Amino acid sequence: KAGVTQTPRYLIKTRGQQVTLSCSPISGHRSVSWYQQTPGQGLQFLFEYFSETQRNKGNFPGRFSGRQFSNSRSEMNVSTLELGDSALYLCASSLRQVRQETQYFGPGTRLLVL
Amino acid sequence: DQQVKQNSPSLSVQEGRISILNCDYTNSMFDYFLWYKKYPAEGPTFLISISSIKDKNEDGRFTVFLNKSAKHLSLHIVPSQPGDSAVYFCAASLMGGGSNYKLTFGKGTLLTVNP
């Protein structure tokens, strides 16, 4: 079974631009979560989508948004990029069928904002 | 407020010996704990998990111990191998799922296994 895939793997943008990242979950997984990893803050939860609905949101500004499609694929959008948005953006998927579940991560998208 | 803490940023052990990575948490509502291993420029890879109703879970060379009264868990790797060298993250999730369905991570411990 293929794992979680993320595209693109690397991105370079300039301040003020916007960016869209894509995530395809493991086949059959309906939950997709997004995390941001930075050297200072570690891995931080952005939001989770299940059945095309945002179920949970972390403490990030409204510039960070996402959506999920009927095939469970998800996109994350960051508008008006700031230098501090440079990070590794990770997507994780799970079945979300039982209360205690393991999330499986993709390889991430490395975003550099200049 | 950091709810999951890994107080050792790094750990160095000899090949064949035991590696013990520690993790403390503050939120008593966490009921599921996971360990992930991460290489640079890759996503975290799931290693092992433990439910709060257990105090030990084993999978090959990896064993996780949970001490709920101390709000402490540890990952034991025996024997350690050079390929185990990576950053290890401890993560926890809240009971109830629903809108609480997310992982809270520690800052990670860099394990170096020397040949």
Residues of chain B contacting residue A44, judged by C-beta atoms under 8 Å apart: 105
**Measured distance CA(B64)–CA(B47) in Å, rounded:** 10
Q: Which of B53, B99, B102 to mutate to test the interface with A (most CBs of A within 10 A)?
A: B102
B102: which chain A residues are within 8 Å (Cβ-Cβ)? Answer: 33, 45, 48, 56, 58
Least CB-CB distance to B105: which of A42, A50, A100?
Answer: A42
> Is there a contact between A56 and B95 if contact means CB atoms under 8 Å apart?
no
Q: Which residue shows structure tokens 């034991």?
A: B76
So what's the pLDDT on residue A41? 83
Residue B91: list chain A partners with CB under 8 A. 43
Mutate to test the interface with B, among A96, A102, A110 (most CBs of B within 10 A): A102
Q: For the segment B21-74, what is each residue's pLDDT rounded down to a tens digit?
A: 999 999 998 989 999 999 987 899 999 999 999 999 999 999 999 999 999 999
Cβ(A33)–Cβ(A103) below 8 Å: yes
Residues of chain A contacting residue B87, judged by C-beta atoms under 8 Å apart: none
Alpha-carbon distances of B71 from B19, B25, B30, B57, B68, rounded to whole Å: 20, 5, 10, 16, 5
- A43-73 tens-digit pLDDT: 999 999 999 999 889 999 999 999 999 999 9
pLDDT (tens digit, 9 = 90+) per residue, A31-51? 999 999 998 888 999 999 999
Q: CB-CB: which of A33, A42, A96 is closest to B108? A: A42
CA-wise closest residue to B90 among B40, B46, B55: B46
Q: How far apart are CA A30 and CA A71, in angstroms?
A: 8
Six token digits for residue A77: 């959008």
The pLDDT value given to residue B48: 96
The answer to whether the beta carbons of residues B36 and B46 sit under 8 Å apart is yes
- The overall longest dimension of chain B from CA atoms, in Å, is 45
A-to-B residue pairs, Cβ atoms closer than 8 angstroms: 69
- CB-nearest partner of B107 from A4, A42, A103: A42
